[in-house]
Structure 1
């Protein structure tokens, strides 16, 4: 035994002169390990420290120019040696810190004489109690009691130094990433304090984002938020486990479970970030190829997650890393493609994943020694991922704004469409008819529902229309009728009536208590604009196609136009008068308009026409008739039949306007009438007197 120690000391003494020892840097408060780290892949299992020292002396160790070893995935244990020399005065304690991803660490501190002064075993496969310090990383104190004097070593008096070697055997089923730091204990606690603040802030942001988006999901029930909440949650747990905090805080005495959950969190984060991205973008119809790539990556991650308990750990974690990196790149290019396609929702997404990728690149460059250590390079991955989750939350908020704008536009389109439908419906069923039927919404009409009303009914008909129509083509007939009806219809509405139906060239109009329905005429600035005649020609020069209707006999006074509806002023023909008077004034106005219309027709080379009008007032039944597939609003009763019969008498007596005795009793004295005859309606015993309403200039 003594002989072995002697030769070990001799070998160490020889090696000490060939190794490059790291020296303490006062400015950094740590040893500068760059170029002073040696490593060796163990050829056979369980080599002992003294054997590793022999190999170190024999030059079998490889020197690393970086203090951060990145040896990839390896099944072989790795020996790492860190020679250093302390030239300070008095005793000192230093801390060697190693990342939390090593499964097993056999730590040895060897003195200048080759003696093992301190030895311990810990790692991810061991409980937290096996560590020298309860820290999320592996921290090993290196205590130098007292440097040797220079005189002993044959150097100038007054100097002192204490060389030593940290010798470690490392095993890991994951990536062999070994960033080494050997710093003074004061500097270590200062650095550790800053690190705790940084990670506390980082995980605080993650927690706030989880709660914030969880609240939004509860409010909106949008699946994108649910996927995003799970993505942040599992990504934060992955980071919590990656940096050793999960083992330290949550499962200090369950190292195997804490180690296994690391790839589980990574796989779940990958699956949910892909679900989130594809749901957020509605990617399938927009970018089907990239959607399939995202689906493939999700499938790989999900299958690996299910098979995880049966896979070797190194394969499980490797699949998680590659699928996670692939997912980040796939989502980046997905956002880039959609941004190029002018999809507004992609802008925050693109920035978010750019920050994440840039942060990872910075960290990789630092680990490779291409850029120096700094706060930014050290915590670039945390900065990038924190900015990512914040920007993705902004992306979701931005999408809500986009959805809201689209919803408002859609609602406006629906409202506009509904208004158009209502206007179109009113062309067939006037609003006034609905009001008289006791409804304000046509969707609530019921087939067969009816009500009794006192209504004044006006019928008008073009005389000799059959002979007139035979001289015109079907197209000319349509143009003629529409030209005529466009002139007569507005007059009826201006006097508070509404057209119930057109019967060929005939008009059936109703007048009831209250103002009429909205105008569907072409009223402009209080002027009715007539349509072109059946010949399709515009009015001849010198005529006034849009002249106001004459005042006096039922013509509008100084009405105003509101939302396309000509609202008559109070006065003759206005809504304040009873419906009987308004119907009479409307008939007079129609006859006056006929005169102007015939003047226009003659100027266009067409023959004049004549119309007959009949009016009666009384009780009717108003409602809907028809069958399941076809409805019609109408009025029925003796009053309707008598009004139609009276109109037909206008031709017999060559009278323009024929009214019933019941209507005459309701008219003021200025509206003169002469008696025509007494008639008997078929099926009725009582005879009815009829009168001609006299036309005169105002």
Structure 2
């Protein structure tokens, strides 16, 4: 005998192990969505296995094919193709018409969406110091030209050190190190940050000659767990990093303005690399959304290999 517990339906049912999860839930009167009729062509019957993965049978060929096309996590299974051999706790992932529309809008011929996974990563926020004053004193064409040069320099350096810029926000950007599961993501971030500072300082001289304006950047970084997934409606989707690690990295970068510093890192990042980083000074800041004070460190232009 096997028991299927559907956590978001608050229902437990005795399953016929010779039938699929979908057949069992429908027999029990559960409104389990299956737009394609249970033929492994739409994935609207998908469920997330919370407990008892060892009691879930392996994917068959039809499910494996669709799972590869959609980039489904191993815990996400098609109820129409999945059978169980013991007790399992799961939840349905398509609960209403909006969920169904989102799933059906996915094109299996395109690059798979990231459905939300936890990763260990290092986060770098960078913005331009005194950006408003810079844009006010600089002709529009030059602003765009300089920003494109700046982002080209930054993107080249970030990529060189194994990072990836995932978002631009006017005068700055967010880069992540560790999406490739490289365990040295923290060290790579610091190296990229120092090189970026050096190259932008050189670029500042060229900008000053062109516009008589200064062009400086401020960096803030943190390391920890992030949630990585694809968000947004069809045609306006993007991969995004979410979570406390990202939020704190942003707050640390913003603290540069108050502290008159240029490169601040978190306590967690410092503890990983304290033997390699030269620190000018440490500070305690209050970060929005975090209780208590957060210790941060201002880095010198120095890194020991």
TM-score of the aligned structures, taking structure 2 as reference length: 0.60
Alpha-carbon deviation of 1:674?
A: 4.0
Superposition map of 1:21-420 within 5 A: none
1:641 correspondence with 2:250: no
Among 163, 169, 192, the alignment partner of 1:586 is 192
Structure 1 Cα separation of the partners of residues 180 and 242 of structure 2: 21
Partner of 1:445: 112
Among 426, 431, 456, the alignment partner of 2:122 is 456
Structure 2 Cα separation of the partners of residues 683 and 499 of structure 1: 24
Structure 2 Cα separation of the partners of residues 471 and 501 of structure 1: 26
After superposition, the C-alpha distances for 1:477-504 in whole angstroms (9 at most, x for unaligned) are 2111101111111111111101011111
SS in 2 for 1:489: helix
Alpha-carbon deviation of 1:620?
A: 1.1
Structure 1 Cα separation of the partners of residues 190 and 256 of structure 2: 15
Q: Is the 8 A contact 2:208 2:215 kept in 1?
A: no
Q: Is the 8 A contact 1:675 1:689 kept in 2?
A: no
Alpha-carbon deviation of 1:465?
A: 0.6
SS in 2 for 1:609: coil
Among 497, 503, 510, the alignment partner of 2:163 is 497
Partner of 1:468: 134
SS in 1 for 2:138: coil
Partner of 1:693: 299
Alpha-carbon deviation of 1:604?
A: 4.0
Structure 2 Cα separation of the partners of residues 623 and 670 of structure 1: 32
Alpha-carbon deviation of 1:637?
A: 0.6
Structure 1 Cα separation of the partners of residues 238 and 179 of structure 2: 22
Partner of 1:355: none
Larger relative contact order, structure 1 or 2 (CA cutoff 8 Å, min sep 6): 2
1:485 correspondence with 2:151: yes
Structure 2 Cα separation of the partners of residues 633 and 667 of structure 1: 28
Structure 2 residues without counterparts, runs of 5 or longer: 1-69, 75-107
After superposition, the C-alpha distances for 1:86-105 in whole angstroms (9 at most, x for unaligned) are xxxxxxxxxxxxxxxxxxxx
Structure 1 Cα separation of the partners of residues 268 and 277 of structure 2: 14
Partner of 2:175: 509
Structure 1 Cα separation of the partners of residues 241 and 213 of structure 2: 35
More strand by share: 2
Partner of 1:624: 230
1:656 correspondence with 2:262: yes
After superposition, the C-alpha distances for 1:375-396 in whole angstroms (9 at most, x for unaligned) are xxxxxxxxxxxxxxxxxxxxxx
| RMSD across aligned positions (CA) | 2.7
Alpha-carbon deviation of 1:444?
A: 4.1
Q: Is the 8 A contact 1:620 1:637 kept in 2?
A: yes
Alpha-carbon deviation of 1:472?
A: 2.7
SS in 2 for 1:630: coil
Alpha-carbon deviation of 1:443?
A: 1.3
SS in 2 for 1:487: helix
Q: Is the 8 A contact 2:231 2:240 kept in 1?
A: yes
Q: Is the 8 A contact 2:123 2:175 kept in 1?
A: yes
Structure 1 Cα separation of the partners of residues 234 and 200 of structure 2: 40
Partner of 1:680: 286
Q: Count residues with an aligned counterpart.
A: 201
Alpha-carbon deviation of 1:580?
A: 0.6
Q: Is the 8 A contact 2:129 2:217 kept in 1?
A: yes
SS in 2 for 1:488: helix
Distance 1:649 1:593, change over 3 A: same
SS in 1 for 2:232: strand
- The runs of at least 4 consecutive aligned structure 1 residues that moved more than 3 Å come to 602-606
Distance 1:667 1:442, change over 3 A: farther
Structure 1 residues without counterparts, runs of 5 or longer: 1-433, 516-574
After superposition, the C-alpha distances for 1:194-228 in whole angstroms (9 at most, x for unaligned) are xxxxxxxxxxxxxxxxxxxxxxxxxxxxxxxxxxx
TM-score of the aligned structures, taking structure 1 as reference length: 0.27
SS in 1 for 2:260: coil
More helix by share: 1
